[in-house]
Copies of this chain bind each other. A is one copy, B any other.
Amino acid sequence: MTITAGTPLRVVVWGENRHEQVEPHVAELYPDGMHNAIKAGIEENLGAAVDVSVALLDDPEHGLTEERLAQTDVLTWWGHAAHGEVSDEVVERVHRHVLSGMGLVVLHSGHWSKIFQKLMGTSCTLRWRSENDRELVWTVDPTHPIAQGVPHPIEIPQQEMYGEQFDIPKPDEIVFISSFSGGEVFRSGITYRRGNGKIFYFSPGDQDFPVYHHKDVRKVIANGVAWVASDRAERAEPVLLRYETGDFFNGRGYQGAMANHEAPVTEAAEVAE
């Protein structure tokens, strides 16, 4: 999306905020929580073009009420230890907003979140090891807006290894591919469209290493936030509509599966839904 001088993009950084509470070495790396490191990285790159706030797992409705999502242009998601605690109702709500046009940036261990699995339709599993591997992030799509302003490769001195096979649908675009000291490779920066929404998954980032303080990682996340923001004039959920012959612009609501040979239908005659 074009980041212009107009209304700032409304960004919500969602954080699980558990490791920071339970594990001292994480709290040391991220004294304000990982979510605030992510927030700072977006603000440092996009400045006045964004208005960034935070929502946390322990907030009421995880901080993601219908009202708030309706006012959110881009949501970023980091979760790990507590994927199972995210309520199915909130996942459905976020899913509906993504299909309606809200942008979504999924970070690192968010690959195994309910919302990412629901959007992908696969297990989103992978191979991993948390052993201080060096990660190199190589750009394979040099024209992509998300790849601008970072070195080729990005060097991350210490990182958890995420390796193939990554059980995901074929990405719409592969922007980055990473290697690790141990020899593994990973499609680490990938995009998808789902409904009217755009999604960017970026794997670098971990609670055990200071990755969200890394200048280039922050730049990529900010690029991703700008890219997933919708170019559409308004948010709208995809719907199933009936159109009469020759009338391309006035759809009618669905009346039930047994009614589709009576046209026009005025009353529902459903048998089985």
Contacts and interface: CB of A to CB of B under 8 A. Distances in A.
A138 B167 contact: no
B242 A127 contact: yes
Contacts of A136: 183-185, 248
Contact of A120 (B4, B121, B263, B273): B121
A92 to B, nearest CB: 12
A97 interface: no
A85 interface: yes
A3 to B, nearest CB: 7
A271 B232 contact: no
B127 A139 contact: no
A125 B238 contact: yes
Contacts of A119: 121
Given A245-B182, A271-B18, A196 B128 contact: no
Interface size, A (range) = 35 or more
A112 to B, nearest CB: 7
A32 to B, nearest CB: 21
A144 B231 CA distance: 8
Given A121-B118, A196-B142, A148 B232 contact: yes
Given A140-B166, A177-B177, 9 more contacts: A18-B271, A81-B258, A81-B273, A125-B239, A138-B165, A138-B184, A142-B196, A152-B248, A182-B246
14 contacts: A22-B258, A81-B258, A81-B271, A122-B194, A122-B238, A123-B237, A131-B244, A136-B184, A138-B184, A148-B232, A155-B248, A174-B174, A179-B183, A208-B261
